[in-house]
Structure 1
Amino acid sequence: MNPFYYVLSVNGLLFLFSLIFRFFSPKKINSIYGYRTNKTMKNDAIWQFANTFFTKEFLKYSAVSLAAALILASIAKELTWQPMAIMLLSLAVAVIKTEQEINKNFDEEGKKRK
């Protein structure tokens, strides 16, 4: 398989999802679409904060993931697991940073910290 097709199908798709999430972010708490965890679904304030923050981080890290994978595809002769690892790492970083910000700004009961 052409390395560029592989990168576009893995990292490019992640970037496309981040753009969709950016322009069509969920407005209300739901169980289908959005950054859904038990904590974010406790109240609307956490939901809005988490989805806004995650969208920014997701877009940023998926763009970095796509750029890094494209650079790797232009350098390497054969790609196997590398673009998938870059994609998973970027997604994990976005989730971890979002959870850290939620814990920094909200307590366990879902109330805003001062």
Structure 2
Amino acid sequence: MEALFTNPWTIILLLTGLLSALSGWILKKYPPKSINWFYGYRTRRAMKGQDQWDFAQKLAGREMLRSGLLLTVLGIAGAWLPLSDEAAVAVALVPVIIFAFLPVVRVETELKKRFEGSGRN
């Protein structure tokens, strides 16, 4: 069990996964009510109007929570990978980067489909 918490793969993925899941949960539970530059999922497309904003906050929270939980599972599952510490750090960055951008891609795709596909801007 000691190897689990000293493996760089596990440390990186668990920490980023738990932080992402927590951020997603907070965003889902306490979404910002109005468009602002301080808190929430803030992209040009999400800030075009209140309908887009509300939709983006809910979806972004869910997607961040999902990505965070998947990173956490990967962190635990990969704890026994036979990699050197240097290799484990390098390889762990791949899912971190992918799961950081995946929620953005999903939310932006859904915003575009829902709000720009129907002729509304």
The interval holding the TM-score normalised by the smaller chain is 0.7 to 0.9
In the alignment, which residue of structure 1 is the partner of 2:78? 72
Deviations 1:15-52 (A, max 9, x none): 22222222222121110111111121121000011111
Unaligned runs of 5+ in 1: none
Q: 1:102: Cα distance to partner?
A: 0.6
Count of residue pairs brought into register by the alignment: 111
Structure with the bigger RCO (C-alpha within 8 Å, sep 6+) is: 2
Distance 2:20 2:96 in 1: 7
TM-score normalized by the length of structure 2: 0.77
Q: 1:14: Cα distance to partner?
A: 2.1
Q: CA RMSD in A?
A: 2.3
Q: Which of residues 65, 78, 81 in structure 1 aligns to 2:90?
A: 81
In the alignment, which residue of structure 1 is the partner of 2:18? 12
Change (3 A) 1:13 1:83: farther
In the alignment, which residue of structure 2 is the partner of 1:24? 30
Identity across the alignment (%): 24
Q: 1:8: Cα distance to partner?
A: 2.9
TM-score normalized by the length of structure 1: 0.81
Distance 2:66 2:25 in 1: 10
1:38 equivalent in alignment to 2:44:
yes
Distance 1:35 1:23 in 2: 13
Q: 1:80: Cα distance to partner?
A: 0.9
Distance 1:64 1:40 in 2: 25
Unaligned runs of 5+ in 2: none
More helix by share: 2
Change (3 A) 1:6 1:103: closer
Q: Which has the larger radius of gyration?
A: 2
Distance 1:6 1:59 in 2: 17
